[in-house]
Structure 1
C-alpha cells in the first residue's frame, strides 16, 4: 500500500513538473509572438506611410532565392543517387558553419552597430541585440514544442503528432528549420543596406543546396519515391519566402526594431543550428568530418562576407 502511494505521489510530482514546463513554454512563445505581431503591425503602417517597396522587393527576391536554392539541392538528389552518410553529415556541418558565421557577422555585429547609432549609452546596444536573440529563441522553442514534427533521435514531437504521417512530421521539422533563415534574409534588407543583405542572403543560398540535398535523401530513406522526395524537400524552402516576409515586416519600420530584428533572426538561427543541425550531423558517429565541415563552412562565410561586404 505504501509503495503504491509512493508511486502515485511520484507520478503526480512528475506530471506537475511537466505541466509547469508546458506553461512556461506557452508563456514564452506567447510573449515572442505578441512582440512579433506588434512589430509587424507597427512596421506595416510605417512602411505604407514611408514607402518600403524596394526593401520588400529585395527581401522577397531573397526569399524566392532561398526556395530555389533548396529546390536545386533537392533535385540534385535525382542525379547523384545514394550518398554516404559520412558525406551527408559533412555537408550538413558545412551548412551549419555558414549559418553560425552568418548569424555572427551578418546579423549580430550589424545589429550592434545599428543599435549604437541610436543609443549612446555603453553596453545598451549589446543588450538590445541580446533581447532580440532571446525573443528568437523563445519563438523557436514555442514552435518546436507546439508544432507537430519529428526528430530522428526523439521521434514524433508536438500535439497531434500521432495523427500525422512520419513523412509529413519530418517535412514540418525541416520547414520550421527554414523559417529563421527566411527571417534572417528579410531582416537583413530592412535597412536597405546591401552590405548586410547580400552576403547573408548569398550565404543562405549556398548552404541551402547541400541542405536540400540531404533532406531529399532522408525523405528517400523514409520510403518516398525519388521524384516525390525531391518535390517535398523543395516545398520546405517555401518557408524561407514566408520567413523573409515576416523578417522585413518586424524590422522595417521603427528604428530600434531593426537591431532587435537582427538579433531575433540570429537567435533563431543559432538555436536551429545547435538544436537540430549539429545533433543530426553527430547522430551517425561522424563527429570529426562534420566538425571539419562546420569549420570549412564558417571559413567560407568569412571569405564570402569579406568579398561581398
Structure 2
C-alpha cells in the first residue's frame, strides 16, 4: 500500500467525525435531549482522557521498568508541561473570547464579525465551548494519525487498516461530543464544517507525519496537549450539566458515552494496538 493510500485512509478515519455534526442544527431547545447529548459527550471525553493519558504514560512506564532515567525524565517533563499548556491555555482562551464578545456587544451589532462562520463563534458561549471541544479532539486525533502512520511506516499494514477502522468508529462518536453545546442554537453548515475540519482533519495530518518518522516524545507532547484540553472541556460540560438540573438523564448520558468509548475502542484493542 502506497504512502498516498495510507494518507487517504487516515483522512477517511478523521472525516467520520462529520457523521454526528448535523445534530447541532436541531431547531427545538429540547432540554432533555440536550442534557442527554451533553452527558454522552462528557462520558466519551472522560474515556478519551483516560485513553490519552494511558498512552502518554506508557513510554514513561516502560522507561522506568528498564531503568532508563534520562528518557523517563524527558518524557515525564514533556507530558507534565504539555498537559499544563493544554489545560491552562484553554482557560485563558475562553476568558479572552468572553471579553472580546462583551466588547463587541457593548459597541453594538455592527462591531461583530459578519458572516455565517464567525457569528456563532463570538455570540454564544455554547459555540465557543463547541470550538474548544473540537480543538481538544483535534489534538487527540493528531496522535491517532501518528499511530496509523507509524504502523504503516513499520510495515504493519494490517494493523494500520484496523486502526483506521477503529479510529473511524471512534471519531463518529466524537462528532456528537462537539455539537452537544450547540443543540437548539441552529449553527450554520459552514460553522459545522469548520468544527469538523478542526476536530477530524488532524487525523490526516498525523498520518502524514507518522509515516515520516517515529518519535515517542513527539507523540507524548501531542497526547499531553490533548489530555489537558479534554480535561478542561469535561469540567465545562459538567458545569453545563449541573445548571440543567436533570441528574438522572445526565448520569445515563455519562454511562452511554463511556460505553460508546470502550465499545469503539474494542476494535483497536483487538488489533493488538
TM normalised by structure 2 equals: 0.65
Preserved CA contact (<8 Å) 1:183 1:244: yes
**Counterpart in 2 of 1:272?**
229
Deviation at 1:92, TM superposition (A): 0.6
1:260 counterpart residue number: 217
CA distance, structure 2, for counterparts of residue 196 and residue 106 of structure 1: 17
Q: Deviations over 1:231-269 (max 9, x none)?
A: 4223312124542355356665565xx111221222122
Asked if 1:221 is matched to 2:167, the reply is: no
Instruction: State the Cα deviation string for residues 27-47 of structure 1 (Å, max 9, x = none).
Output: xxxxxxxxxxxxxxxxxxxxx
Counterpart position of 1:84? 33
List aligned pairs for 1:27-38, cutoff 5 A.
none
User: Looking at both structures, which has the greater relative contact order when contacts are Cα pairs under 8 Å and sequence separation is at least 6?
Assistant: 2
Q: Distance in 2 between matches of 1:188 and 1:126?
A: 21
CA RMSD across the alignment: 4.2
5+ long unaligned stretches in structure 1: 1-52
1:246–1:133 distance in 2 versus 1, CA, 3 Å = farther
Q: What is the alpha-carbon distance in structure 1 between the residues aligned to residue 199 and residue 217 of structure 2?
A: 20
Give ranges in structure 2 of 5+ residues lacking alignment.
105-111, 123-127
Name the CA shift for 1:131/1:219 in 2 (closer, same or farther; >3 Å).
Answer: same
Counterparts of 1:131-150 in structure 2, within 5 Å, are 131-137=77-83, 139-140=85-86, 144=90
Alpha-carbon distance change, 78 to 134 in structure 1, aligned in 2, over 3 angstroms: same
Deviations 1:274-299 (A, max 9, x none): 10134314422246335434543454
* TM-score w.r.t. length of structure 1: 0.58
Per-residue CA shift, 1:13-32, capped at 9, x if unaligned? xxxxxxxxxxxxxxxxxxxx
Count of residues in Structure 1 that have an aligned counterpart in Structure 2: 241
For the pair 1:304 / 2:267, whether they are aligned, the reply is yes
Tell me the SS of whatever aligns to 1:221. Answer: coil
Change in Cα spacing, 1:213 to 1:298, as seen in structure 2 (3 Å) is closer
